């Protein structure tokens, strides 16, 4: 299995469905989320899949192709209580839940469209631990604003619930109407889906839905997926690698030391300075300098027969 195939996938799907009101902020939402996740993708911590015009005909193939790797699925566009409005028609929740339920690594489903709370039930029943859905029609600009601050927090190390609180707080901070609502924004799924919610609580724009018994899923962090067979090369570990050779480099160094020793023996037998042809030697300190391309820093390797081999890592 390749390293890339073990990296968790973030799937961002958008649709400005024909025949419905054009969502002017959708392109911005797509670009903002791309920019938030792109640095992680460039460091190899995630793989980012962004479909700006998702269609029914493509979604099953994409989900099959990335089965077992999907961690977050985000949808932005028109929606309703039983469907998402894709570019080539409706995507109905019954089929979508069945397909997404096969994604055993999926930790968060974010449905950023109007009135998607009724869809939460089949997704939870399909095994998805956390669904972020809307309770009513959402203004285009507010949908983008909430998504931006939610994912900014998630990318910067917050849990799902903490990221949700951040997005909710950011939205309330700019809206006097929303600031008056203080109802429960995290609902635990039970057999009767909305029986435990007060009428005024249904006015909250977004709500997290979590399976009963799986409330711990709200504490999931994006970095939790990186331990699944893959340790990302962060800036810190990359710096450590520059200072200290990896196992592969030491294997190379051992081989280089053996070659230096062989050259020394041949030089003694033939009386030819083969040794000097391949390295710079200091007779006073009996030190051999070897340049290792593409690395930085210095190391020394002690050889019984020739003293010290000094390794200088650099691009020169």
The pLDDT assigned to 309 comes to 44
If you classify domain 4-233 with CATH, what class do you get? alpha beta
User: Are 131 and 112 within 8 A, CB to CB?
Assistant: no
The pLDDT assigned to 5 comes to 58
| % of the chain surpassing 90 pLDDT | 53
pLDDT tens, residue by residue, 221-243: 999 987 554 344 444 444 444 34
| Lookup: tokens for 132 | 């972020």
Q: Name, in order, each residue with C-beta under 8 angstroms of 309's C-beta and a sequence gap of 6 or more.
A: 253, 256, 257, 260, 287, 288, 289, 290, 300, 301, 302, 303
Question: pLDDT-derived band of residue 192, with 50, 70 and 90 as boundaries?
Answer: very low
Judged by average pLDDT, the poorest of 70-84, 131-145, 221-235 is 221-235
Dist CA 237 CA 132 (whole Å): 34
Q: Please, where in the chain does CATH 3.40.50.1460 lie?
A: 4-233
């Amino acid at each position: 299995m390749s390293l890339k195939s073990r990296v968790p996938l973030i799937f961002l799907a958008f649709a400005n469905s024909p025949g419905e009101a054009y969502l002017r902020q959708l392109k911005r939402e797509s670009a903002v989320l791309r920019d938030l996740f792109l640095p992680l993708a460039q460091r190899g911590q995630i793989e980012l899949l962004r479909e700006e015009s998702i269609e029914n005909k493509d979604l099953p193939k994409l989900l099959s192709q990335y089965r077992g790797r999907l961690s977050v699925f985000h949808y932005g566009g028109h929606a309703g209580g039983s469907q998402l409005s894709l570019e080539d028609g409706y995507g109905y929740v019954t089929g979508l839940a069945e397909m997404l339920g096969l994604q055993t690594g999926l930790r968060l489903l974010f449905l950023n469209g109007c009135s998607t709370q009724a869809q939460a039930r089949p997704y939870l029943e399909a095994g998805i631990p956390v669904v972020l859905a809307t309770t009513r029609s959402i203004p285009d600009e507010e949908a983008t604003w909430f998504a931006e601050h939610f994912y900014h927090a998630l990318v910067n190390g917050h849990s799902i619930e903490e990221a949700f609180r951040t997005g909710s707080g950011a939205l309330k901070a700019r809206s006097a109407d929303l600031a008056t609502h203080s109802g429960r924004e995290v609902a635990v799924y039970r057999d009767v889906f909305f029986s435990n919610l007060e009428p005024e609580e249904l006015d909250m724009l977004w709500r997290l839905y979590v399976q009963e018994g799986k409330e711990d899923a709200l504490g999931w962090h994006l970095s939790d997926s990186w331990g699944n067979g893959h340790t990302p090369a962060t800036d810190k570990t990359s710096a450590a690698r520059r200072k200290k050779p990896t196992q592969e480099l030491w294997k190379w160094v051992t081989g280089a030391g053996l070659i230096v020793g062989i050259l020394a023996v041949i030089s003694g037998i033939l009386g030819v300075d083969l040794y000097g042809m391949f390295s710079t030697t200091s007779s006073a300190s009996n030190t051999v300098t070897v340049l290792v391309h593409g690395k930085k820093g210095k190391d020394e390797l002690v050889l019984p027969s020739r003293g010290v081999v000094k390794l200088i890592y650099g691009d020169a």
